[in-house]
Amino acid sequence: MTVSIFVRSKVKDFGVWKENFDSGAEFVKQQGVIASRVLRDLDDPNLVVIQHDFAETNAARGFMALMDSDAFREGPVKEGGVIPESVEVWVGEEV
């Protein structure tokens, strides 16, 4: 079973955000992410959806807790130019 987290958010500058996202690839792998996808809105290039896949539920829940931490909001969110109030998160499992 694969568990996925989908994060939809608005960023200030896609290019800056994408560089920041790519630089964290090794870190997210260490958190149990087995695959990631970035989708960019066709009409608004600063609106993105990120899909992170996990092999197990506990890894996904741990990553969600990390995303909810002050350190995450002050680090990757702030540095990447994410507009915090625009963040929506959805979690689901493959059936």
- Long-range contacts: 35-38, Cβ < 8 Å, 24+? none
Rounded to an integer, what distance in angstroms lies between the CA atom of residue 89 and that of residue 52?
11
pLDDT(77) > 80: no
Torsion of CA 23, 24, 30, 36, to 10 degrees: -100
pLDDT(85) > 90: no
What is the tally of structural domains in the chain? 1
Question: Over the stretch 6-64, which tens digit does the pLDDT of each residue have?
Answer: 999 999 999 999 998 998 899 899 999 999 999 999 999 999 999 999 999 999 999 88
Looking up residue 28, the CATH number of its domain turns out to be: 3.30.70.100
Cβ neighbours of residue 56 closer than 8 Å, sequence gap 6 or more: 1, 3, 32
| Residue 88: Cβ within 10 Å count | 9
Domain that holds residue 63: 3-93
Task: Please tell me the predicted confidence (pLDDT) of residue 53.
Answer: 96
